[in-house]
Amino acid sequence: MRRPRWLGPYRVLTRLASGGMAEIFRGVRTTADGAQVPVAVKCILPVHTADPEFVDMLSDEARITASLDHPNVARVYEFGEADETYFLAMELVDGVDLRSVVRRCRERGEALPWVHALYVIEQALSGLHAAHELDIVHRDFTPSNILVSVTGDVKLIDFGIAKAEHNRSQTRSGVIKGKVKYMSPEQTEGKRLERRSDVFSAGVVLYECLVGRPPFLAPEDPLLMEAIREAHPDPVSASHPELPSALDAILARALDKDPAARFQTAEAFAAELRGVRLVAASGFEPSELGALVARVFDAERREREALLSEFDLQVGIDDLTPTGERREYTRLVSAGVFPDADKDDVDALRDALDAWLATRRAETGTHETSLSGGADSTGSSTSGDDPAGQTLEMDALSDDTGTGTGTGAGGGRR
């Protein structure tokens, strides 16, 4: 049997994805009552740990997602540090990202059914609306950041570059973040963004799912940005007459260059898609979507289960090292998901995190930003014996297994 590696209170198992920023693993955490909770653990590569802005961005992602409690948003449980490794512990979704679903269907010579596509975007928009109601703009609504499970659940992920009022890592004016082909016109110009920018991006994703190509095309990023600002895509029914004509008007509104002419909320966009879907397929069940995902990724799922069966999950914390050495980890942000790990006084945890940030900035010669009064921010030192210019895009995360299962985090050039 293989022995898992401990990272704080988490047992790290198989690798799900890797790239220039991080490696993502399937892991397990044992709670105080003995339950084993599957998690996705995103471990930041050492080259990035010396960058305070990068660490702040990850902490923001944890704090933002911890403030969201919605069935269509994948939770981030914790941001911490152990063995000189920064990590995010996240909800493990048994599925794949939408980009992988579309690609696999295309490889098999079959299209993602348009009713399925409408349902996925409708659900993702519901999660997006919940974020917007908390003054959080996602800014990276893409197929790679929408997970679809084998039961038909849809989860919006990766709030790493999201803009929220309580962020510590603030984007400078004129700095562009996100994947270019899914940007809104105002995003390509580096303007201050609000919820209607995400609505435009959702329209781009839906158009691509329905037609098989994005609405705006160009050989290089500057020309693509110009196309996003000036070009008007053909109606989806022009190339796919089987699609309801109502989708032409819906997408035209979502992709309007003028934010004031778009759907003013993600909820309104989702409601229009729901109306079309119910007329066309009133009997549709999410399980149909889940069955499609399970079918087209069956080989990868079997391989993953075989790998997991090789691990001995009964190993105790005393077996962490031959000497039973206890290793400490620092919980920098917690969502309170694991009650046994969150008994500390919140004010004391904030003070601990402020002190940690001050030390980090002293080491790197950067300015300290206090977190006192920040929402959902906690930090503590916890013993490892608890068993329980322009930045256009991030580096790619290449999926080791081809499934993208449960990464719970995106961030790649697509």
- Active site positions, annotated: 140
Tokens read off for 315: 């190993």
Pairing outcome for strands 380-383 and 328-334? antiparallel
User: 3-class SS at 130?
Assistant: helix
Q: Provide CB contacts within 8 A for 31, sequence distance 6+.
A: 37, 338, 340, 388
Gap between the Cα atoms of 269 and 256, Å rounded: 13
DSSP assignment letter at 256: -
3-state secondary structure of 81: strand
The token duo for 211 is 């037609």
Cα dihedral across residues 179, 183, 188, 193: positive or negative: negative
Q: Both tokens of residue 339?
A: 């009650």
Both tokens assigned to 67 = 């403030």
What backbone torsions phi and psi does residue 400 show, to the nearest 5 degrees?
Answer: -65, -35
CA distance readout (Å), 295 to 298, 310, 381: 5, 24, 44
For 135, other C-beta atoms within 10 Å of its C-beta total 12
- Tell me if 90 sits within 8 A of 409, measured CB to CB: yes
Is residue 351 a contact partner of residue 42, using CB atoms and an 8 Å limit? no
The β-bridge relationship of strands 95-97 and 146-149 is antiparallel
Number of alpha carbons in the 13 Å side-chain half-sphere of residue 205: 29
Q: Are 108 and 165 in contact (CB under 8 A)?
A: no
Secondary structure of 348-383 in the HEC alphabet? HHHHHHHHHHHHHHHHHCCCCCCCCCCCCCCCEEEE
d(CA 146, CA 155): 6
* Phi, psi angles (nearest 5°) of residue 189: -95, 5
CA 259 – CA 216 distance, rounded (Å): 18
